Amino acid sequence: MIGLILEFRDIHKSFGEKKVLTGVSFRAEGGKAFGLLGRNGAGKTTSIRILMGVFPADSGEVLIDGKPIDYKKVGLGYLPEERGLYPKKKIIDQLVYFAELKGMRAADAVRECDRWLERLEMTEYRDKRLDVLSKGNQQKIQLITALAHDPDIIILDEPFSGLDPVNAMLLKDVVKEEIQQGKIVLFSSHQMSYIEEFCDSIAIINKGEVAITGDLAEIKRDYPRDRLAIRSAQNAAIAAAFPGRTELAENGELILRLGDPGEKMAVMKKLSESFDIDEVRVFEPSLNDIFVEYAGD
Protein backbone atom coordinates (compact mmCIF):
# COMPACT_ATOMS: atom_id res chain seq x y z
CA MET A 1 0.00 0.00 0.00
CA ILE A 2 1.40 3.36 -1.01
CA GLY A 3 0.39 6.82 0.13
CA LEU A 4 -1.66 5.81 3.13
CA ILE A 5 -3.04 8.41 5.52
CA LEU A 6 -3.20 7.42 9.18
CA GLU A 7 -5.50 9.37 11.49
CA PHE A 8 -6.03 9.30 15.22
CA ARG A 9 -9.40 10.92 15.72
CA ASP A 10 -10.42 11.99 19.25
CA ILE A 11 -8.94 8.96 21.00
CA HIS A 12 -9.79 8.50 24.70
CA LYS A 13 -8.38 5.80 26.96
CA SER A 14 -8.60 5.22 30.71
CA PHE A 15 -7.31 2.46 32.95
CA GLY A 16 -9.65 2.32 35.90
CA GLU A 17 -9.95 5.84 37.27
CA LYS A 18 -6.81 7.04 35.52
CA LYS A 19 -7.39 8.96 32.30
CA VAL A 20 -4.41 8.32 30.02
CA LEU A 21 -5.58 9.81 26.71
CA THR A 22 -8.18 12.54 26.49
CA GLY A 23 -9.04 13.36 22.90
CA VAL A 24 -5.79 12.59 21.05
CA SER A 25 -5.93 13.49 17.35
CA PHE A 26 -3.16 13.62 14.75
CA ARG A 27 -2.50 12.75 11.10
CA ALA A 28 0.46 10.97 9.49
CA GLU A 29 1.04 10.44 5.76
CA GLY A 30 2.76 7.76 3.74
CA GLY A 31 6.12 8.74 2.33
CA LYS A 32 6.83 10.93 5.34
CA ALA A 33 8.15 10.43 8.86
CA PHE A 34 6.03 11.48 11.82
CA GLY A 35 7.35 12.19 15.31
CA LEU A 36 5.17 11.20 18.27
CA LEU A 37 6.73 13.00 21.22
CA GLY A 38 6.13 13.50 24.90
CA ARG A 39 7.63 13.01 28.31
CA ASN A 40 7.51 9.64 30.05
CA GLY A 41 3.92 8.95 31.06
CA ALA A 42 2.45 11.45 28.61
CA GLY A 43 0.52 8.79 26.65
CA LYS A 44 2.85 7.90 23.75
CA THR A 45 3.06 4.18 24.54
CA THR A 46 -0.69 3.92 25.04
CA SER A 47 -1.23 5.60 21.66
CA ILE A 48 1.16 3.16 20.00
CA ARG A 49 -0.54 0.15 21.58
CA ILE A 50 -3.93 1.36 20.42
CA LEU A 51 -2.53 1.81 16.90
CA MET A 52 -1.17 -1.74 16.98
CA GLY A 53 -4.45 -3.19 18.23
CA VAL A 54 -2.98 -4.39 21.53
CA PHE A 55 -6.07 -2.97 23.22
CA PRO A 56 -8.92 -0.77 21.98
CA ALA A 57 -9.58 2.88 22.67
CA ASP A 58 -12.51 3.69 24.93
CA SER A 59 -13.74 6.05 22.24
CA GLY A 60 -12.50 7.67 19.06
CA GLU A 61 -11.18 6.07 15.88
CA VAL A 62 -7.94 4.97 14.26
CA LEU A 63 -8.44 5.44 10.52
CA ILE A 64 -6.53 4.50 7.38
CA ASP A 65 -7.58 6.55 4.37
CA GLY A 66 -10.72 7.59 6.25
CA LYS A 67 -11.82 4.07 7.19
CA PRO A 68 -11.33 2.07 10.43
CA ILE A 69 -7.98 0.30 10.29
CA ASP A 70 -8.21 -3.29 9.01
CA TYR A 71 -5.31 -5.27 10.45
CA LYS A 72 -5.83 -8.01 7.86
CA LYS A 73 -4.96 -5.54 5.10
CA VAL A 74 -2.57 -3.09 6.77
CA GLY A 75 0.77 -4.46 7.95
CA LEU A 76 2.52 -2.96 10.97
CA GLY A 77 6.15 -3.27 11.99
CA TYR A 78 7.22 -2.35 15.51
CA LEU A 79 10.69 -1.76 16.93
CA PRO A 80 10.19 -1.55 20.71
CA GLU A 81 12.43 0.41 23.02
CA GLU A 82 12.87 -2.72 25.15
CA ARG A 83 14.06 -5.72 23.16
CA GLY A 84 11.74 -8.69 22.97
CA LEU A 85 13.84 -11.43 21.39
CA TYR A 86 15.17 -14.71 22.78
CA PRO A 87 18.81 -14.42 23.89
CA LYS A 88 19.59 -18.16 23.75
CA LYS A 89 18.01 -18.88 20.36
CA LYS A 90 19.70 -18.88 16.96
CA ILE A 91 19.17 -15.56 15.21
CA ILE A 92 17.88 -16.84 11.86
CA ASP A 93 15.44 -19.21 13.56
CA GLN A 94 13.74 -16.50 15.57
CA LEU A 95 13.77 -13.99 12.72
CA VAL A 96 11.93 -16.49 10.53
CA TYR A 97 9.59 -17.37 13.39
CA PHE A 98 8.54 -13.75 13.87
CA ALA A 99 8.13 -13.24 10.12
CA GLU A 100 5.85 -16.28 9.93
CA LEU A 101 3.79 -14.93 12.82
CA LYS A 102 3.19 -11.88 10.63
CA GLY A 103 1.86 -13.98 7.76
CA MET A 104 4.92 -14.85 5.68
CA ARG A 105 5.50 -18.31 4.23
CA ALA A 106 8.61 -20.03 5.56
CA ALA A 107 10.60 -19.85 2.31
CA ASP A 108 9.75 -16.18 1.81
CA ALA A 109 10.62 -15.44 5.43
CA VAL A 110 14.06 -17.06 5.11
CA ARG A 111 14.78 -15.16 1.90
CA GLU A 112 13.74 -11.77 3.30
CA CYS A 113 15.50 -12.27 6.63
CA ASP A 114 18.71 -13.20 4.83
CA ARG A 115 18.35 -10.12 2.62
CA TRP A 116 17.97 -7.90 5.67
CA LEU A 117 20.88 -9.56 7.47
CA GLU A 118 23.03 -8.68 4.46
CA ARG A 119 21.61 -5.15 4.24
CA LEU A 120 22.43 -4.49 7.89
CA GLU A 121 25.85 -6.16 7.65
CA MET A 122 24.85 -8.96 10.02
CA THR A 123 25.17 -12.06 7.81
CA GLU A 124 28.10 -13.43 9.82
CA TYR A 125 25.83 -13.69 12.87
CA ARG A 126 23.04 -15.58 11.06
CA ASP A 127 23.53 -18.86 12.90
CA LYS A 128 24.72 -17.48 16.22
CA ARG A 129 22.76 -16.95 19.42
CA LEU A 130 21.47 -13.47 20.08
CA ASP A 131 23.26 -13.10 23.42
CA VAL A 132 26.71 -13.13 21.79
CA LEU A 133 25.93 -9.84 20.00
CA SER A 134 26.65 -6.33 21.22
CA LYS A 135 23.76 -4.11 22.29
CA GLY A 136 23.86 -2.23 18.99
CA ASN A 137 23.85 -5.39 16.89
CA GLN A 138 20.96 -6.78 18.92
CA GLN A 139 19.10 -3.59 18.04
CA LYS A 140 19.72 -4.28 14.35
CA ILE A 141 18.34 -7.81 14.68
CA GLN A 142 15.28 -6.43 16.43
CA LEU A 143 14.87 -3.99 13.54
CA ILE A 144 14.74 -6.89 11.07
CA THR A 145 11.72 -8.31 12.92
CA ALA A 146 10.00 -4.98 12.29
CA LEU A 147 10.83 -4.80 8.57
CA ALA A 148 11.14 -8.32 7.12
CA HIS A 149 7.39 -8.69 6.42
CA ASP A 150 7.33 -5.41 4.42
CA PRO A 151 4.87 -3.48 6.64
CA ASP A 152 2.87 -0.44 5.54
CA ILE A 153 3.32 1.36 8.87
CA ILE A 154 6.65 1.24 10.74
CA ILE A 155 6.76 2.26 14.40
CA LEU A 156 10.23 2.99 15.76
CA ASP A 157 10.51 3.50 19.52
CA GLU A 158 13.95 4.92 20.42
CA PRO A 159 15.47 3.29 17.31
CA PHE A 160 18.97 4.75 17.73
CA SER A 161 19.44 3.55 21.30
CA GLY A 162 22.77 1.77 21.71
CA LEU A 163 23.99 2.40 18.15
CA ASP A 164 27.46 3.73 17.43
CA PRO A 165 27.76 6.48 14.78
CA VAL A 166 28.47 4.02 11.94
CA ASN A 167 25.46 1.83 12.72
CA ALA A 168 23.31 4.91 13.33
CA MET A 169 24.16 6.09 9.81
CA LEU A 170 23.26 2.65 8.44
CA LEU A 171 19.91 2.76 10.21
CA LYS A 172 19.30 6.28 8.89
CA ASP A 173 19.80 5.01 5.34
CA VAL A 174 17.39 2.13 5.91
CA VAL A 175 14.72 4.42 7.35
CA LYS A 176 15.08 6.84 4.44
CA GLU A 177 14.64 3.94 1.99
CA GLU A 178 11.42 2.88 3.73
CA ILE A 179 10.09 6.45 3.63
CA GLN A 180 10.92 6.69 -0.08
CA GLN A 181 8.79 3.58 -0.67
CA GLY A 182 5.78 5.54 0.54
CA LYS A 183 5.47 3.96 3.96
CA ILE A 184 4.36 5.71 7.12
CA VAL A 185 7.28 5.83 9.55
CA LEU A 186 6.33 6.84 13.07
CA PHE A 187 9.14 7.81 15.44
CA SER A 188 8.87 7.92 19.21
CA SER A 189 12.08 9.21 20.75
CA HIS A 190 13.62 11.63 23.22
CA GLN A 191 16.56 12.19 20.86
CA MET A 192 15.30 15.39 19.30
CA SER A 193 18.12 15.70 16.79
CA TYR A 194 17.01 12.51 15.04
CA ILE A 195 13.35 13.54 15.05
CA GLU A 196 14.30 16.92 13.62
CA GLU A 197 16.39 15.27 10.91
CA PHE A 198 13.72 12.82 9.76
CA CYS A 199 10.26 14.05 10.61
CA ASP A 200 8.12 16.27 8.43
CA SER A 201 5.35 16.44 11.03
CA ILE A 202 5.08 15.95 14.77
CA ALA A 203 2.61 15.65 17.62
CA ILE A 204 3.64 16.48 21.17
CA ILE A 205 1.48 14.79 23.80
CA ASN A 206 1.33 16.30 27.26
CA LYS A 207 -0.71 14.68 30.03
CA GLY A 208 -2.81 12.69 27.59
CA GLU A 209 -3.61 15.58 25.26
CA VAL A 210 -2.03 16.78 22.02
CA ALA A 211 -0.32 20.03 22.95
CA ILE A 212 0.69 20.81 19.35
CA THR A 213 0.68 18.94 16.05
CA GLY A 214 1.39 19.75 12.43
CA ASP A 215 4.16 20.35 9.91
CA LEU A 216 7.40 20.97 11.80
CA ALA A 217 8.66 23.68 9.43
CA GLU A 218 5.37 25.55 9.71
CA ILE A 219 5.39 25.26 13.50
CA LYS A 220 8.84 26.84 13.54
CA ARG A 221 7.81 29.64 11.19
CA ASP A 222 4.86 30.50 13.41
CA TYR A 223 7.26 31.66 16.11
CA PRO A 224 8.04 35.41 16.15
CA ARG A 225 10.87 36.10 13.73
CA ASP A 226 12.40 38.76 15.93
CA ARG A 227 15.81 37.27 16.66
CA LEU A 228 18.99 36.68 14.66
CA ALA A 229 21.44 33.83 15.13
CA ILE A 230 25.04 34.92 14.54
CA ARG A 231 28.22 32.89 14.14
CA SER A 232 31.31 35.03 14.59
CA ALA A 233 34.65 35.16 16.38
CA GLN A 234 33.68 38.65 17.59
CA ASN A 235 30.80 37.81 19.92
CA ALA A 236 32.01 40.16 22.64
CA ALA A 237 32.28 43.12 20.27
CA ILE A 238 28.84 42.43 18.78
CA ALA A 239 27.31 42.16 22.25
CA ALA A 240 28.87 45.51 23.17
CA ALA A 241 27.39 47.10 20.05
CA PHE A 242 23.90 45.84 21.00
CA PRO A 243 23.86 46.15 24.80
CA GLY A 244 21.21 44.14 26.61
CA ARG A 245 19.98 42.51 23.42
CA THR A 246 22.19 39.43 23.06
CA GLU A 247 22.64 36.06 24.72
CA LEU A 248 25.00 33.18 24.02
CA ALA A 249 23.38 29.90 22.96
CA GLU A 250 24.71 26.48 23.97
CA ASN A 251 25.97 25.85 20.44
CA GLY A 252 28.12 29.00 20.52
CA GLU A 253 25.81 31.14 18.42
CA LEU A 254 25.07 34.66 19.58
CA ILE A 255 21.32 35.35 19.65
CA LEU A 256 20.45 38.99 18.95
CA ARG A 257 16.97 40.23 19.80
CA LEU A 258 15.58 42.75 17.33
CA GLY A 259 13.67 45.81 18.46
CA ASP A 260 11.25 45.13 15.62
CA PRO A 261 11.14 42.29 13.04
CA GLY A 262 11.13 44.93 10.32
CA GLU A 263 14.69 45.99 11.12
CA LYS A 264 16.05 42.56 10.25
CA MET A 265 17.72 43.53 6.95
CA ALA A 266 19.20 46.74 8.33
CA VAL A 267 20.73 44.94 11.31
CA MET A 268 22.10 42.16 9.08
CA LYS A 269 23.71 44.82 6.86
CA LYS A 270 25.24 46.55 9.88
CA LEU A 271 26.62 43.28 11.21
CA SER A 272 28.19 42.25 7.91
CA GLU A 273 29.77 45.69 7.41
CA SER A 274 31.06 46.13 10.96
CA PHE A 275 32.16 42.67 12.06
CA ASP A 276 33.76 39.47 10.81
CA ILE A 277 30.59 37.38 10.38
CA ASP A 278 30.66 33.70 9.43
CA GLU A 279 26.88 33.34 9.34
CA VAL A 280 23.79 35.35 10.24
CA ARG A 281 20.23 34.13 9.85
CA VAL A 282 16.78 34.49 11.35
CA PHE A 283 16.66 32.44 14.53
CA GLU A 284 14.20 29.56 14.56
CA PRO A 285 13.59 27.45 17.65
CA SER A 286 14.97 23.93 17.65
CA LEU A 287 12.65 20.99 18.17
CA ASN A 288 14.17 20.71 21.62
CA ASP A 289 13.02 24.29 22.36
CA ILE A 290 9.52 23.48 21.11
CA PHE A 291 9.39 20.25 23.10
CA VAL A 292 10.38 22.00 26.32
CA GLU A 293 7.72 24.65 25.77
CA TYR A 294 4.86 22.27 25.02
CA ALA A 295 5.79 19.20 27.08
CA GLY A 296 6.83 21.08 30.22
CA ASP A 297 4.61 21.70 33.20
Contact 294, 211 (CB under 8 A): yes
Which one, of 79, 48, 23, lies nearest residue 208 by Cα? Answer: 23
Q: Is 208 helix (H, G, I), strand (E, B) or coil?
A: coil
Handedness of CA 183, 287, 263, 280 (dihedral sign): negative
For the chain, what percentages of helix, strand and coil (3-state, to nearest 5) are there?
A: 35, 30, 35
Q: 266-270: list long-range contacts, CB under 8 Å, 24+ apart.
A: 267/228, 268/228
Contact 185, 176 (CB under 8 A): no
Which one, of 33, 60, 32, lies nearest residue 46 by Cα? Answer: 60
Predicted confidence at residue 2, as pLDDT, reads 57
Query: What's the CA gap between 199 and 257, in Å, rounded?
Result: 29
Query: What's the CA gap between 166 and 172, in Å, rounded?
Result: 10
| Average pLDDT, 10 consecutive residues per value, the chain (297 residues) | 84 95 96 94 94 95 95 93 88 96 95 96 95 91 96 93 88 92 93 89 96 94 90 94 91 90 91 94 90 86
- For 21, the enclosing helix (H) or strand (E) is strand 18-29
Query: What's the CA gap between 217 and 115, in Å, rounded?
Result: 36
Using CA atoms, how far residue 33 sits from 1, 116, 172, 224, 272, in Å, is 16, 21, 12, 26, 38
Who contacts 177 (Cβ-Cβ below 8 Å, separation ≥6)? none
Predicted confidence at residue 33, as pLDDT, reads 94
Contact 101, 136 (CB under 8 A): no
